[in-house]
Structure 1
């Protein structure tokens, strides 16, 4: 593939302009921004899952996160950054690395539905279509037949029961996560367009995040296989039981980055070039936010005053950031590495007084009216082991995914008008209501849904999206008081700090409304690549972040 870089486009003019440029440099007329632009050789992207903009402002203002404050002092803080309508981890990360919303990237949730797919067991694609796609902790081989997740690396291979099939040019073909994402990623673009580039990433699921490789399947040279739901051999529990245990998991990612900065692979066992684009996800803050207020989790008030667990989690994350930056400085890489700190998603509700947990009233209402199987036998909920990915689920049944949002794939799409009427007739928080009667709630369907997410008739997009009142979680669980996935303000309003070495406009704050999809084209701008090399950027017209959205910034 032809490398498309701006200097390539102007190479015919180089001879004419050399003398002029020399004169401009001698007069100091070349823009300072061009100098800092050329200095970026590496981009480090960090997602502190759950990090709200208010968390950034509060911790910097109170000196609770000195390392993040130093980055902000040397960079740009975007105070009005938002996710593109959905805030689950898949669309949240896809925004950051594809430049697109679910409409182009095609990722709505790690547990979703696709009407065009065939069951994992249907290797000839001759049965019914419609499959509940589950690319999470059970995508690793440890999850086969509902097995215990005993290995940190998920067992070292894909669980064949988690891999559905599709007809591709008449051939029944397995659909791995990298086949499922519809557009390419920054990792693929950088590898194909920067000579000698290397890419790396670490995330929370060992095999479900294979989609980061992009459709080529090879975008990430070093995709760290770490599974947060695996059983810690020391404690015999998984790493999300309490935030201090999650720190141990996140420490693995810190060490992966340090190894990569030191010229090794993520394991530290082999020599490797320092990645051109690399990064990781942290889960500690998310776990602390979800913990019940009664146990010290979440926030103390509507002003984002952190409770004890969130306070501890933010301190941990800032210390981890400090360790990473310190290693960059020690290896003389800080002056050539841009650092972007943000989040895949926030968490809701931070104001505990808004919390409503009436159970999954949305699914119950759909079942009661025969829009989904009245006995709950839809998607893969009816499995032999009780595990979502044991390969025995039903096909062609529709599906509903709920957290603090509801995504509905109807088994009979002709029922859409009737379903919408039923939902609108039951908006209150009183049973069997779905608690979507407030000014910030909505039921999305038809033309508006098509505009946001694409046409459900194509198979991937939900028929209906229900955004309940902020604070509503469709669960009766007593284990957590916050969730994410939807478009509530606390889900979608995120922290975003961009540090570029040698910036002469350091320490500025930008309050323009931006979306996290703008991070991906910004990364390409920093590396002197055309943002439109990303398919989602070209499809959705995504701009780089303000300050990085011009030919020369």
Structure 2
């Protein structure tokens, strides 16, 4: 019997119970009757950042009795899922929360630019732009909703004071004095709110000359606004406080009742308060990423128990809550990494010996390497804890779990990796432009973020300027480096296709005058990453298959097991959550503007 046929038989059989460690964790009765008698009161949304559909298939084949495998077998598995495009964390996460792509949300990347705003004031916490005049046309400016937008943007690196600075783990400095996280578990007491931010780093609205808060920059409302307005409790945990943007426009940052956002780009501290010997942040050591994820897992467990994320205040289990995992994403990127943290007899900790990150070739098949395999096992173990707690608290019959990913990573084939420094390319384009008659001293590319895609924002948006950048990128070769740092010559600046100006607007489905989209947008050749040689094995943000083809499982109350092979998008999670909770999906602007549909079979 084929896998698909077996799943269909399971669906027709009706009775299904997931047993994990002797616990019947999720149960249904039969088909439509189950949906009527066991309505969803709670949706637990999990983003395993970086996890592909191929990773799910590999994991389940190797671990058929694991929690992930059982949730898949007793739920709806979507085998043809794509993320937003671009597939970076911010547009990817925003898609899950709004049902919208950048065309309606206006969010194209974590670090972007807009011709419709003024430059950030950069004058401390003042909400007024330094050079803005109310009502004058926008000058264009950086739109940076990323770390470290906090009250302590540069606290001392407590391992080696002379070699750099990191933002505080708690962003606004309310938990750790001077940002020195000697007791990192205290992060559970963090209370994120608008005071977490330095508004001087945010883009300025030219109409009012005031900084635009991250939630007000969104073009679409969010599921948190709709659910909160319906009188239900909302919660979310993520890697930056800046993702309070998911509160949605006009919310004043208050539609998420319980937001928990410890800063992942801060100094990684072992549980005993000693910095990791790698002297890096939580996002660049997989053992640290697991520790970091563990705090957010504890927040979810506390919320399942009916408390707030800190476990101190009994407030009731949220209708919508969840978190993102970082351990898989980190394991996919880092060439050599410490996968575990070993506790010594004297109470100190030692990171395990570095092992290979990313994927490897085994018997002609590309499979997760040792660090990535352990990261997947870690996530599975944490999901086991959540599911067991749901059952323990009697919530199995009223809880639906959705597991997906904000983004994938590219490439998975280590033989295709080519890293290219993008700075020299940008400098060369600007120099060539400035050498043209009449352009002396003029900079053409004023902003852009290039990971495994190309994005450029131009000071001159004429047809000729756009064509100049596109032509330069396409007609110049560059020298990159393979995974072993050997030189590799790459044609077309590493790009496979380029859209510029009106073509870029058409690609995203927005008017030319929209002003938020990148003026020059490029798809990279598979394997190309704009980074220092040897620094990364993979990156996200682009549009190759590995960037966008992610897992998705919907399992729990009232869900009839099936396999859905038709193409779906992560944007469909948002209206599906509303439908599961008995709310109207059309309450979301993106559903109305983009026609986003509820997931089939859910």
Shift of residue 115, structure 1, vs aligned partner: 1.6
Does residue 278 (structure 1) correspond to residue 313 (structure 2)? The answer is: no
SS state of the match for residue 113, structure 1?
A: strand
CA distance in structure 2 between the partners assigned to 1:105 and 1:51 by the alignment: 24
> Does 2:474 correspond to 1:424?
yes
Alpha carbons 1:298, 1:350 under 8 Å: kept: yes
Determine the structure 2 residue equivalent to 1:354: 416
Describe the SS at the equivalent of 2:418: coil
Distance 1:34 1:64, change over 3 A: closer
Q: Does 1:32 align with 2:26?
A: no
Q: CA contact under 8 A between 1:435 and 1:469: conserved in structure 2?
A: no
Q: Does 1:501 align with 2:568?
A: no
Partner of 2:521: 465
Task: Return the offset for 1:164.
Answer: 2.5
8 A Cα contact 2:475 2:492, kept in partner: no
Paired residue for 2:201?
162
Relative distance call for 1:43 and 1:304 in structure 2 (3 A) is: farther
- Taking the aligned partners of 1:432 and 1:533, their CA distance within structure 2 comes to 47
Aligned to 1:244: 287
What's the offset of the Cα at 1:32? 2.5
Pairwise CA distance, 1:251:
0.3
1:484-519 Cα deviation digits (max 9, x unpaired): 10001111100111113143x32x211111111111
Which residue of structure 1 aligns with residue 109 of structure 2?
109
Gaps of 5+ in 1: 1-27, 379-395, 549-553
Q: What is the TM-score with the length of structure 2 in the denominator? A: 0.77
Q: What residue in structure 2 maps to residue 363 of structure 1?
A: 426
Q: What is the match of residue 89 of structure 2?
A: 89
| Alpha-carbon separation, structure 2, partners of 1:55 and 1:309 | 13
Structure 2 match to 1:408: 456
Q: Which residue of the partner structure matches residue 80 of structure 1? A: 80
Q: Take 1:369 and 1:137, find their aligned partners in 2: how far apart are those partners? A: 33
How far apart are residue 424 of structure 1 and its match? 2.6
Query: Among 177, 202, 205, which residue is 2:214 paired with?
Result: 177
1:212 aligns with 2:212: no
Partners of 2:295 and 2:568 in 1: how far apart? 31
Identify the structure with the greater strand proportion.
2
RMSD: 2.8
Q: Distance in 2 between the 1:160 and 1:376 partners?
A: 31
- Once residues 224 and 281 of structure 1 are traced to their aligned partners in structure 2, the CA distance between those partners, rounded to angstroms, is 11
Q: Measured at CA, do residues 417 and 50 of structure 1 come closer, stay the same or move farther in structure 2, by a change above 3 Å?
A: same
Check the 8 A contact 2:199/2:213 in 1, yes or no.
no
Alpha-carbon spacing, 1:398–1:202, altered in 2? closer, same or farther (3 Å): same
Asked if 1:527 corresponds to 2:581, the answer is yes
Shift of 1:457: 2.7
Match of 1:125 in 2: 132
SS in 2 for 1:422: helix
In structure 2, C-alpha distance between the alignment counterparts of 1:84 and 1:339, rounded to whole Å: 21
TM-score (structure 1 length as normaliser): 0.83
Residue 450 of structure 1 corresponds to 505
User: Does the 8 A contact of 1:98 with 1:517 survive in 2?
Assistant: yes
Separation in 2, partners of 1:488, 1:65: 32
Is the 2:461–2:501 Cα contact (8 Å) retained in structure 1? no
Quick check: 1:200–1:222 contact (8 Å CA) kept in 2?
yes
Q: 1:476 to 1:456 in 2, by over 3 A?
A: farther
1:480 aligns with 2:481: no
Distance 1:375 1:60 in 2: 60
Instruction: Indicate if the aligned counterparts of 2:456 and 2:520 stay in contact, CA closer than 8 A.
Output: yes
Give yes or no for contact 1:52–1:346 (8 Å, CA) kept in 2.
yes
Distance 2:440 2:530 in 1: 18
Q: Which residue of 1 aligns with 2:257?
A: 221
Q: Does 1:45 align with 2:45?
A: yes
Q: 2:49 touches 2:405 (CA, 8 Å); kept in 1?
A: yes
- Any conservation in 2 of the 1:346–1:494 contact (CA below 8 Å)? yes
Q: Is the contact made by 1:54 and 1:304 (CA closer than 8 Å) also made in structure 2?
A: no
CA distance in 2, matches of 1:232, 1:353: 31
Mapped to 1, the partners of 2:454 and 2:64 lie a distance apart of: 36
Q: Is the 8 A contact 2:40 2:558 kept in 1?
A: no
Q: 2:228 aligns with which of 191, 196, 200?
A: 191
Q: CA deviation at 1:163?
A: 2.1
